[in-house]
Structure 1
Amino acid sequence: MVKKHGKKSRAKRKAQRAGASHASAAAGTLHTHEPLPDMTGLGELPYAAGKELDTDLAARLVAACRTACKPCQTSLAQKLRTEHRPTLAALAGAVYGELAGIRPGAFASSTSRSWAPLARAANAGEGDRGAALAAVEAMDDEAASDLLEDALDHWAMGTPLPADLVDKLATAPPRQRPADPMDTFRAAGIKVVTLDDLDLGDDVDTYYLAPNYGVLLMKTDAPDGQPMPMLVLYPETDDAGIEDLEARTDWEHWGLHGMPDMDPRWRVRARISDRSLQGLVHIGPDGNDDIELWRAAETVTLPQHWWDLLDRVQHVLVAGPVKEPEAPGALAAAGDAGELLAVVARVSFH
């Protein structure tokens, strides 16, 4: 179903982070990107094997990604690849070595998938702790570019480091979803009453006050041809649909070509004890659920082959909404009509 456009997918993700014109760079116009993250904590990570890091360069590159400045991102990334491989190793290791939950999935480059075990070994103090850096220093420019691009996909959404380093590496604002449509009414002087204003208390489950969805289990192929679990959303309430998903998420419009973006803040919750899915949620800046699109109404044990795939890949392609997902051609029709949104979510096992 998903065409094998791995490089195109990574190029698209890069383009989406990069929206600035080259005009300012060509004209020599100086500019800065703020907030500039404090990256001094990178020096405490083991991936650079004790070599000196250019944390200023790392900070400027991450800031350029977060502000979608293509000229700066391109020039700074090239400088990092050609002159500062230890810093590149530290940036990538912060993603793939520090956070046990982040594994390069089928949508990441083969370089990242093969390098990540070295980063995890360095983090655990196993074997030659310099092997991760040695591998980065031995990469050709294309491989180093692939590793850096995959790592920057995470850095562009905020620091990926664990809690004990958050105080050293400042967090950045989360990816912004589309503006609240209620702001239009507020701007016109119309009073808008929200659920928070009503102070309904903890006894009211707000999940049932918002549009709800159901899910259909499917499988697809990742860009490298490997199978990947997939969930197709369908409306369960009258107010659920494309307009609701556009307002509540920042998922991209997807036409079944390539692989949509991975956003680790979207989680598919899975329960190990009974091999079931529990829900689809978005994690807010405070670490709590701020969006809940689907919640399992009852426990349904998943087929063993689908659960095994879920356990192996640990990511799920989520797409929707499709009114009748089991109808032949319904998914493709929604994609062709531009009425399909999609994201790659992480699986949270508990």
Structure 2
Amino acid sequence: MVKSHGKKQRAKSKSRRTGAAYASAAAGTTHQHDPMPDVSAVEEISYLPVEFVDTGLAARLVAAARAGCQPCQRTLSKQVVDDGRSTLLALAAAIYGHLPASSVASATTRGWAPLCRAAHEDMGEAPEMLEAFGVLSLQERAELLEDVLDHWAMGGPASQAEVVNRVLARHGASPVPGQNALVDALRQFGVGVYTPDDLDLGDIDPYDLAENYGVMLARATPDGRDMPMLTLYPETEGAGIEDLERRTDWEHWGLHGTPAANPAWRLRARIADRSLQGLVHVDPDGEADDELWRAAETVSLPEHWWALLDRARHVLVVGPVKTPESPGALQAAGDAGELLAVVVPVELR
């Protein structure tokens, strides 16, 4: 009995230490995700209280997230949420001290991230941020951690310069260097170098921080019913099936039958000039909290397509298709299981 109890305790301890499920730890089949990431940024946040941050736990969790290992990620996330509040705070502050919360982040993160950014900019005590973090429920801490891991899984904290460069790249502008010794040296030689602080960018539009799509007009007859269709194609490097799966709950579609309708997604259209404005997800208050596509300019739709849109008041949205104009590209994506689809209402404005 003593031997059995000791074995169970060792397995539990190993499970907590490695992040593996208890059954794996007991069977001796645990694994480690290599290489272990550098999480030193979590120890370099001067405005956080001096408390113990378990960098080993943080590194194992980030490694599991980058490896896409859900069993380890679930086990380690539970440890961080339940017992590692200082570790969660440090992981979150390393991200949201620099970055705004994206439009697809949870309401918890969108509410807390601005307080963290303010604390980072003040570089002093952060009572509002700490107080708001302290009253988060277990569920809210889990939501915050999930959003934080999305960033760590892609490489970790981003500097302000990296955020600005991503925005500038979307608009075809050249990247700007960060503030460092190289910048100072170049300026001494009369080279014009601009940093993010030199640019008056105003508020960063969340649309510029998310992956974007273009749309192509089409018609479809699912179940014999004629209706307008939009085919999405990637416009940014990270846009694609994985991004759509993460941001939507649309179903995989093989071009047979009619996909389910989802009223939370809307195709916004303007009556005055018969134009489309954007494909958005709205929150319970009707405010857009995610945008897959936004019209860059006003283009009046063909009369026959607008008439069909006005009559159906719903549109079939499918994607992503890399080259929607190519014959057979839509069918090929459906056959490969890489096509998502949804029926959304038209919001006439």
Category of TM-score, reference length = shorter chain: 0.3 to 0.5
TM-score by length of 1: 0.45
* Larger radius of gyration between Structure 1 and Structure 2: 2
Q: TM-score scaled by structure 2?
A: 0.45
Q: In proportion to residue count, which structure has more helix? A: 2
